[in-house]
């Protein structure tokens, strides 16, 4: 009987531990959608969405970063730096979502989501990110 109790305690402990671990990881990895203003005010990872300012993108050779400017509905702008590859349909995007942290005047994006005109709705494309997984 005591062995049963021991196993039950271990089992419940493992389950509770795993849930706690998962919930902790979940909370610390959440990236809320925020406005540009809010993004500038925090050092947490966030995601912002905006339109690409035409012609604002350039490839910075020294740091190998893609730099570009997003503008939101209110006309607020945000400079974004991205270490990864320029998404193929970047210039046709109706909206660009950047996920990362704001640091010294630019949003350092870890991941970009590029939304294209509805023509390709339902078509599966991939995300672009700087690190593979």
Partner 1 sequence: MFLPGAIALWVAFFALIASTLFYFRSTRGHTEARAWARQAYGLATAGVVIASGVLLYLILVHDFRIHYVFSYSDTSLPTSYLISTFWAGQEGSFLLWLLWGMIVGLPLIRYAQHYEDRTLIVYNVAQLSLLLILLRQSPFRFLADLPPGQVPSDGQGLNPLLQNPWMTIHPPIMFLGYAATAVPFAFAVAALWERRYDEWTKASLPWALVTVVTLGCAILLGGYWAYVTLGWGGYWGWDPVENSSLVPWIASAALVHGMLLQRARGRFRKLNFSLAILAYVLVVYATFLTRSGVLADFSVHSFVDLGITGWLVGNLTGALLIGFGALIWRWREIPSEPGDEPFLSRTVFFVLAIAALLGTAAMVLLGTSAPLITRIVTKPSQVGPAFYNRVTLPVGILLASLLGVVPFLHWKGTSKEFRKRLLVAGALAAVATGVGTAVGAHGVLYVAFLLVALFAFFSNLLKTTDEVRTKRFRAAGGYLAHVGLGLMLAGIITSSAYDRSEKVVLPLGESKQVMGYTLTFKGVEKPKPTSREAMLVEVREAGGRTYLARPRMFRNEKSNQLVANPDVRVHLTHDLYVSPIEFDPGRPAETGRTLEIAKGETAKVGPVSILFDGFDMSGSHGGAAKVSIGARLTVATGTVSQLITPRLTSGENAFIGEPVAVPGVQGVTVAITGVNASAGRVRLALTGLGGGVAKRAVLHRGETLTYRNTKLTFDDFDLSNFDPEAGKINIGVVFKVTDPAGKIGEITPAYHGGEGGETHDDAAVPGLAGVLLRVGRMNPDEKTVEVEVLDPSAPGDPGEPMRFSADVTVKPMIGLLWTGLVVLLAGGLLAVVRRSEEFSAASQPAAGA
What is the pairing mode between strands 77-82 and 65-71?
antiparallel
Q: How far is the CB of 81 from partner 1 (least distance, A)?
A: 14
Number of amino acids touching partner 1 (CB under 8 A): 51
90 binds partner 1 (CB under 8 A): yes
**Alpha-carbon gap, residue 96 to 112, rounded angstroms:** 7
* Token reading at 117: 């005109």
Task: Give the one residue of 99, 102, 107, 109 binding partner 1; rule: CB under 8 A.
Answer: 99
* Cβ-based neighbour number of residue 119 at 10 Å: 7
Query: Binding to partner 1 by residue 18, rule CB under 8 A?
Result: yes
Tokens of 109: 């994006």
Which 27-86 positions form the footprint of partner 1 (CB under 8 A)? 29-34, 45, 47, 49, 59, 61, 64, 84-86
- Map residues 100-129 to x or -, x wherever contact with partner 1 holds by CB under 8 A: ----------xx-xxxx-xxxxxxxxxxxx
- What is the secondary structure of 67-128 as a DSSP string? EEEEE-TTS-EEEEEE-SPPPTTGGG-SEEEEEEEEETTEEEEEEEEEE--GGGTT-----E
> Smallest distance from the beta carbon of 112 to partner 1, in angstroms?
9
Cβ–Cβ under 8 Å, residues 73 and 94:
no
12 binds partner 1 (CB under 8 A): no
Residues that bind partner 1 (CB under 8 A): 3-4, 15, 18, 21-22, 25-26, 29-34, 45, 47, 49, 59, 61, 64, 84-86, 88-92, 97, 99, 110-111, 113-116, 118-129, 131-133
């Amino acid at each position: 009987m005591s062995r049963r109790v021991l196993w039950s305690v271990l089992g419940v402990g493992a389950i509770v531990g795993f849930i706690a671990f998962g919930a902790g990881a979940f909370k610390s990895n959440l990236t809320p959608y925020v406005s540009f203003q809010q993004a500038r005010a925090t050092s947490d990872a966030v995601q912002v969405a905006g339109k690409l300012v035409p012609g604002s993108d350039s490839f910075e050779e020294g740091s190998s970063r893609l730099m570009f400017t997003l503008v939101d509905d209110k006309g607020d702008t945000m400079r974004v730096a991205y270490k990864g590859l320029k998404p193929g349909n970047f210039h046709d995007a109706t909206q660009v979502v950047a996920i990362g942290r704001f640091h010294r005047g630019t949003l350092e994006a870890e991941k970009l989501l590029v939304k294209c005109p509805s023509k390709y709705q339902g078509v599966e494309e991939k995300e672009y990110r700087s690190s593979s997984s």
